[in-house]
Amino acid sequence: MKQLTKAEEEIMHVLWQLEKANVKQIIEQLPEPKPAYNTVSTIVRILESKGFVDYKKQGKGHVYFPLIKKQDYSNQSLNSLVDNYFQGSFKSMVSFFVKKNDISLKELESVLKDINKKD
């Protein structure tokens, strides 16, 4: 699965939230300052070429919908982060975030409880 640019990821978050939308509806969900219609349209076509979205014809326009689930992209992105910055070690990544983000013992215990529930 290909990595998305920041702009592409922003559009995908809107599509994951809405499940389907035309370019105008996507723009409505984006923060100010709103990008130009043509900019969003171009990004959506790039996402289509990368296999992240598809469309259905609706009147004179298109309604776009995600082909990739948010969870699948999140998992792939996290694995890429771990591989590229932490030599494939989730332990190193967690240790890094605990140290850099000053996570409390209570928060860490909560995370461990959530992990143990998975088993």
pTM: 0.79
> What is the domain range of residue 23?
6-66
How many structural domains is the chain composed of? 2
**pLDDT digits 0-9 by tens, 43-55:** 999 999 999 999 9
Q: Which of 51, 66, 81 is the last residue of a domain?
A: 66
Alpha helix (H) ranges present in 36-104? 37-49, 70-85, 90-100
Q: Kindly state whether residue 74 falls inside one of the protein's structural domains.
A: no
Q: Kindly state whether residue 34 falls inside one of the protein's structural domains.
A: yes
**pLDDT digits 0-9 by tens, 69-92:** 999 999 999 999 999 999 999 889
Q: Kindly state whether residue 76 falls inside one of the protein's structural domains.
A: no
pLDDT of residue 10: 98
Longest Cα pair distance anywhere in the chain, in angstroms? Answer: 56
Q: Kindly state whether residue 36 falls inside one of the protein's structural domains.
A: yes
pLDDT reading at 107 higher than 90: no
pLDDT reading at 119 higher than 80: no
Identify the band that residue 115 occupies on the pLDDT scale cut at 50, 70 and 90.
confident
62 and 10 share a domain? Answer: yes
